Chain A
């Protein structure tokens, strides 16, 4: 199935699924955010990095173990 970034489908359905109410101004903000975030989210999901070894519970104060 082709990926969709159509805010008209996703946003009302998503909010309704959680029982979250939003007024028209909030919906406009959410649509703008969705337009900005969704295309790179799809690109991120498509990144071929699953083979890279994970770093469980990384210690961010230090370099990763070699």
Chain B
């Protein structure tokens, strides 16, 4: 049955629907695959075979009937509270039916395990977690990306064909880029969010799919959205690009691969490339961080900060305490900037259908020292990555990361962003890009244990 496990997400769903494989057979194959490959990846931090077998046995006749899925440690399950990758998540956590759990269950999916994540969702690298870091299947000494590190590593390592992540500031797209996957950050509010510990306060976090390709993201995304994301034709695509100092501060191989992919996309769709300007982009990064920070402070008191679990990493403890010192005036200004950026984007999307730039400006850095080399010099991966990831979370627009190349065996991702509610068109564009490059990058496989 391991052959069925190597099918795409939609291929597995079709095989179950056709009676070629049973949900139980697929689940047992996934559990065996996890047992064999995960020690090298640390992508899946917990399995619960009996619960999964119950889901497989009771799976309704939905679009994902019998298909094994990994879900990030950010979503509670009826039998397991989320840990948020941390020894202490500073928020009440309890088992429960999160929105993504309900959506998966009702679609007939089988949750086979919980995916690792960066501690407190606080980094784009995935190199710190209470479980130890997840590892990048393309090179296990490299970062898998964060904060949805385990879901990405699990799909890239072909433990499962689909995983559910969460994206508060790029946390689906960074690991998609580092691991060579397609990752969709939906329009704010379109995908299941209920049960998230910040569901009542967040204006940046969404759930979303991490899969090998766009068609699988469309299938898993439809389940999370609770509506079918219909396929269309991305023709005559108007592709917006930005040429400024920050946008050009990208490693040469990443820049070359993304420029080439943009040209491929233009040619495939019979479209055009237009230069655009987003004057608010530079400040948008900090504004997003400050807004997300403010929202995460709900319920945190100085007394609570003095009682942090000593198992929380020193970086996690220090950053939590620093958050309290950030000035409210800057957060207020961030909301003003959000309003301005949304208006600018609305005008830009009158002129273009998608905005394209590298998802991250350099390939996955070493786990031991997540630094990247850019034309401007050496910087932390987080400082570099957030520049490309934050805008979609600040403004609510959808974005997708698509694999478009590699450097020294490590994947490169192109990010496409579109206007509010145009998630379907983004996936159409991602599929056009796959056609243009002969699906070379979505079908590339990391070195995997047989």
Contact = CB atoms under 8 A, between A and B. Distances in A.
Contacts, number: 122
A52 B339 contact: yes
B330 A44 contact: yes
Interface in A8-42: 10-11, 14-15, 18-22, 25-30, 33-34, 36-37, 40-41
Interface stretch (B101-109, B145-153, B167-175, B311-319): B311-319
A15 B339 contact: no
Nearest to A54: B339
Contact of B338 (A30, A55, A62, A66): A55
Which of B289, B317, B322, B345: most chain A CB closer than 10 A? B322
B337 interface: yes
- Interface residue tally on B, bucketed by range: 35 or more
B379 to A, nearest CB: 10
Nearest to B379: A36
B421 A62 contact: yes
A18 B306 CA distance: 11
B314 A43 contact: no
Nearest to A34: B322
8 contacts: A15-B325, A19-B306, A34-B325, A43-B283, A52-B340, A60-B420, A62-B420, A63-B419
A21 B421 CA distance: 45
A34 B324 CA distance: 12
Interface stretch (B11-19, B186-194, B227-235): B186-194
A20 B396 contact: no
Contact of B346 (A22, A29, A49, A66): A66
- Interface residue tally on A, bucketed by range: 35 or more
Contacts of B303: 19
A52 B324 CA distance: 28
Interface of A: 10-11, 14-15, 18-22, 25-30, 33-34, 36-37, 40-41, 43-45, 47, 49-50, 52-55, 58-64, 66
Given A27-B318, A44-B334, A55 B339 contact: yes
A61 B325 CA distance: 30
Contact of A64 (B314, B325, B339): B339
Interface in B289-308: 289-290, 302-303, 305-306
Name the 8 nearest CB pairs between A and B, nearest first.
A29-B318, A60-B396, A61-B189, A55-B339, A60-B188, A26-B318, A14-B325, A25-B314
